[in-house]
Amino acid sequence: MRRPSVRRSWYWPTVNFRGVKPVLMTPETEVGPWRVLEQRGQGSYGAVYRVERAGHPEQGPFALKLALHLNDPRFEREGELLSRLQHAGIPRLVERGTWEVQAGGGFPFIVMEWVEGVPLYEWAAQHPLTSRQALRLLAQVASALAATHEAEGVHRDVKGDNIWVRTRDAGAVLMDFGSAYYRRARVLTHQFPPPGTPEYQTPECQRYQWEARHQPSARYEAQPADDLYALGVTAYRLVTGRYPPALDMRVTEQGFEFFRPPRLPPEALVSVSPELAEIIQQLLSDDPSGRGTTQEVAEVLEHLAMTAGPQADHRITPLPARSNPAQPLQPRSSRAEAPWLAMAALVYLWIGAWWMKEGHVPVPEKVPQSQVHEQRDGGTVGLGAQVLASPPEARPDEPGMSGIALDIPKKPLPGQRLPPCERYTVEIHGGCWAQVSGAVSPCSASMYEWKKACYLPLIAPSRPSTSDTP
């Protein structure tokens, strides 16, 4: 019987191969021996397809990640690191190559084992979560990270979206090594911010970005401690439904300084076991050495998953409102959270300077921090991106609310937005300023004064991350 011809269907929306999406494939397209079944995701640099080996469907599905740009070197780096890793919690590399489409040009691809499952936060929203289950999942991720670090690699984008829980055995799998780096690998990111998702970046990374902001050639070198901190953020959000407060900045007479807003421990928010609460606090240490080594963390988590007390088998639930005045939201799928990013960015532009200058902790009931989440492409919220829906009402006993307002300086403040200014803002002395509605001289100490009106500086947002997370 004659075998029907294979339909090959792919297209370029642009003919010069320099567009954002130069090639997309439809079902039945063949890339070497791999036949496309369906597209399952797309990021900034690659698209993921469920494929099968042509002529051997009995082998089951595989995941093919295809570059969206000709000769993209990111895939060479990702494929090389995956080739060094053999771990149950990391997708196994099956093949890597280039889909040649013209002389000297093609689209790199990698083929991995197919992982049937859902992202971690989505899984937690669909299943009752206990502390023992959380410890077990985190132990599996830490073990995968230990293997990565042993191979001299750093993942650089550990988060709930990149940790999948397998359907068949509820095991955790560390996914998407598109932002990963290994020693002596080719450097691909030459500007800020470094790859990754801002909410998961370490204090040392955030400080470096600020201190080296005027050095175009500066580059942050991620370490295993960065992955461990991101695992701590993931764990905190997994059990509480919110992010821990990020490192903040405030204005002093000497300039800007960093400080850590008060962080409620997990046990103050939810009924988490003491063993899990303690390891989360360790992973979120501001001191990189205080987080421990990856292998130590993996071993401790595995030990705690087996030996934690009876409370570890109780479902994690929010504490009563009287014990928890800042009630956290329950974990939910990040697909439903992306719209909050646009709102957060808009609010950040208008009043970001207020909280940096005053150093206040955001009021959760205004805009809960758990509603400002990462996007699939690594996020768009920059350094210290914690926001308020509106400035809190001043009270006489609040620090910083008394005294004489500062005059607007003769030149822009560090990090201030420069002209052309946004709508509803004005240019004063080369910087963009927002007038505080209803506030007149004498202004509070949290504001700047100009011609008997009160203003706040507009802070320039950080550039979106380049993390590729299809």
pLDDT tens-digit map of 364-407: 333 333 333 333 333 322 222 222 223 333 333 333 333 345 77
Closest to 364 (Cα-Cα) out of 329, 397, 332, 395:
329
Within the chain, all domains assigned CATH 3.30.200.20 are found at: 10-113
Q: Using CB atoms within 10 Å of the CB of residue 72, give its burial: 0 to 12 exposed, 13 to 18 middle, 19+ buried.
A: buried
Instruction: Identify the residue whose tokens are 């009563």.
Output: 320
Architecture of domain 117-334: Orthogonal Bundle (1.10)
| Residue 387 CB partners (closer than 8 Å, separation 6+) | 344, 347, 348, 351, 352, 355, 362, 367, 372
* pLDDT score for 363: 34
- Angle made by CA atoms 184, 47, 86, in degrees to the nearest 5: 50
Which residues of the chain have a pLDDT value below 70?
1-23, 102-104, 185-193, 250-256, 321-405, 423-424, 437-438, 444-446, 460-470
* pLDDT score for 183: 83
Distance in angstroms (rounded) separating the CA atoms of residues 95 and 110: 6
Within the chain, all domains assigned CATH 1.10.510.10 are found at: 117-334
* pLDDT score for 253: 66
pLDDT digits (tens, 9 = 90+) for 228-237: 999 999 999 9
Q: Which CATH code, of 3.30.70.270, 3.40.50.1360, 3.30.450.40, 3.30.200.20, is assigned to 10-113? A: 3.30.200.20
* pLDDT score for 155: 96
Closest to 446 (Cα-Cα) out of 460, 438, 436:
436
pTM for this structure? 0.67
Closest to 352 (Cα-Cα) out of 259, 446, 257:
446
Q: Report the DSSP beta bridge partners of residue 174.
A: 163
* pLDDT score for 230: 97
* pLDDT score for 82: 95
Name the token pair of 426. 């004005």
Distance in angstroms (rounded) separating the CA atoms of residues 19 and 10: 15
User: Sheet containing 105-113: which strands, arranged edge to edge?
Assistant: 30-31, 34-42, 46-53, 62-67, 105-113, 93-102
